[in-house]
Amino acid sequence: MKIHICEDAKTLGMKAAEETARLLIQVIEQQGNARLLVSTGASQFTLFEALVGLPVAWEKVEMFHLDEYVGMSEDHPASFIRYLKERFTSKVPLKAAHFLNTADVAAMIGRATAEIRKAPVDVGLIGIGENAHIAFNDPPADFQDTAAYKIVQLDEACRRQQLREGWFASMDDVPQTALTMTVHQIMLCRKIISAVPYRVKAEAILRTLTAPDITEEVPATMLRGHADWTLYLDKESASLLEGVELP
């Protein structure tokens, strides 16, 4: 585990993007192509802003994403497909973009599983939620499920985060179910980079880094067990760590 604390969210995004680009370039040089897994949400804005301007051979990169609300229309402002098209896939010429369209969830799980398991994901950009979830694996997360994707019920803390970030007009509008990549599948990424800015994430970061054990009650603690995990924080998200002894 490596931790970098940056001055602000913009610097964090640039530093995380630069490492991502460096790794993708290295992988492409070694094997001719690369596979990238990406997160969405407000915390990833500065990362994508920086990443699309970096000199990666994007035509050799396949993109996968982590999750989507069940039954979400791509036209909805909260759609993660829409988010990625607006901020990433419309700006770089990817080899392929594997979106999670949840109109037919069972069929989507089959297709997404087949694609993600064709080869390892080289770089996973994995955010951490305010409730310390990774993807939509809310606490208590299932660390034993070996499927690649599954349908989950979203907890209230997760749904309130989506409301606060401005994706929905009211709690009644926030979906209760989502399709998510499992914790098991996330951990199969060769390299994981987490970009986690802003004060609203400080408590989740504290819990992720100081829980005495890896625990399903704090899903992001599982990242501590990954062989190659780098965490990028800004001063706000790291604000509760001063003087804290990490395990």
CATH of the domain at 207: 3.40.50.1360
Q: Is residue 246 part of a domain?
A: no
Q: Is residue 203 part of a domain?
A: yes
Give pLDDT, residue 245.
78
Strand 67-69 relative to strand 177-181, pairing:
antiparallel
For 174-219, what is each residue's pLDDT tens digit?
A: 999 999 999 999 999 999 999 999 999 999 999 999 999 999 999 9
The arithmetic mean of pLDDT across residues 127-149, rounded, is: 96
Neighbouring residues of 167: CB distance < 8 A, sequence distance ≥ 6: 77, 78, 174
pLDDT of residue 116 exceeding 70 = yes
Q: Residue 221: which of 241, 239, 204 has the closest Cα? A: 204
Q: Residue 237: which of 207, 205, 195 has the closest Cα? A: 205
Q: How far is CA 193 from CA 74, 140, 227, in A?
A: 27, 22, 12
pLDDT of residue 247 exceeding 70 = no
Q: Is residue 186 part of a domain?
A: yes
The model's confidence at residue 164, banded by pLDDT at 50, 70 and 90, is confident
Q: Is residue 15 part of a domain?
A: yes
For 4-50, what is each residue's pLDDT tens digit?
A: 999 999 999 999 999 999 999 999 999 999 999 999 999 999 999 99
User: Is 95 in contact with 57 (CB distance < 8 Å)?
Assistant: no
Q: Is residue 72 part of a domain?
A: yes
Q: What's the structural domain count of the chain?
A: 1
- Half-sphere CA count of 186, side-chain side, radius 13 A: 36
The arithmetic mean of pLDDT across residues 43-59, rounded, is: 97
Residue type, 192: I
Q: Is residue 239 part of a domain?
A: no
d(CA 66, CA 100): 8
Model pTM greater than 0.75?
yes
- Half-sphere CA count of 89, side-chain side, radius 13 A: 19
d(CA 35, CA 11): 25
The model's confidence at residue 161, banded by pLDDT at 50, 70 and 90, is confident
The arithmetic mean of pLDDT across residues 93-98, rounded, is: 98
Give pLDDT, residue 35.
98
| Omega of the bond leading into 140 within 30 degrees of 0 (cis) | yes
pLDDT of residue 246 exceeding 80 = no
d(CA 203, CA 233): 12
Give the range of the structural domain holding residue 219, as residue numbers without chain letter. 2-234
Q: Is residue 8 part of a domain?
A: yes
Average per-residue pLDDT for the chain: 96
**E strand map for the chain:** 2-6, 34-38, 61-65, 67-69, 96-98, 123-125, 149-153, 177-181, 191-196, 229-234
Give pLDDT, residue 167.
87
Q: Is residue 243 part of a domain?
A: no
The arithmetic mean of pLDDT across residues 74-90, rounded, is: 95
